[in-house]
Structure 1
């Protein structure tokens, strides 16, 4: 069953979805917090919509950092992408990621927006939604 939760913040919308495969054009401009791993297949879903940013789970990073390689693919289109530590939030659970996720990996686009390793997801998302200075 598809589950999405929309949170309206001062600077924009956050959409929580347990799987990035639920992404639709309705999420254009939002920051999407997913429960999916941050591998290449997940990043390809994110490439289908223009997002303010996207959050994944690092899935333990895996061999050759396979769990976060999608972050770097998203850099090619300047889309900020973040992964949270698999020890901080359950894989496949966007609400847990939003409530408890701690940033473990970022791409250059996210770093340029002020996101740093060890931030909470909620703090990182605020950096992504805030208008550039």
Structure 2
């Protein structure tokens, strides 16, 4: 089972986190997605930050998909932006790319349930 990494900022991920499930408080925009691409987690969870102009807050969905990485975003109205514990404990998935969906991550699921399914009870979720 993949390790769970809970990081307020996706910038905290490192190459040794490859293959983990990364739950962050970060927005799902272009700049944040670059850190996930570099670290290559199995799944990155971001905050949709209200989606933003031209979908800027959810750009990670397509960017990570193009790099062969799964991404999901919780709704900004379900979890506090910048607080990964809130993402984990309160977040509700609103968006998931195709690779995340193949892992069973679907809109409407709680982030806690996603982590439980992917990382097991040992993840402490």
Q: TM-score, normalised by structure 1?
A: 0.84
Structure 2: runs of 5+ lacking an equivalent: 121-125
Give the RMSD, CA atoms, in angstroms. Answer: 1.4
Q: Deviations over 1:16-72 (max 9, x none)?
A: 000011111231221100100000111111010121110000000011111001111
> Would you tell me which structure has more helix in proportion to its own residues?
2
Query: Which deviates more, 23-32 or 51-60?
Result: 23-32
Supply the distance in 2 between the matched residues of 1:128 and 1:80 (Cα, whole angstroms). 12
Q: TM-score, normalised by structure 2?
A: 0.89
Structure 1: runs of 5+ lacking an equivalent: 1-10
Look up the match of 2:123: none
Q: Which one of the candidate residues 9, 20, 35 is aligned to 1:19?
A: 9
> Would you tell me which structure has more strand in proportion to its own residues?
1
CA contact (8 A) 1:34 1:56 kept: yes
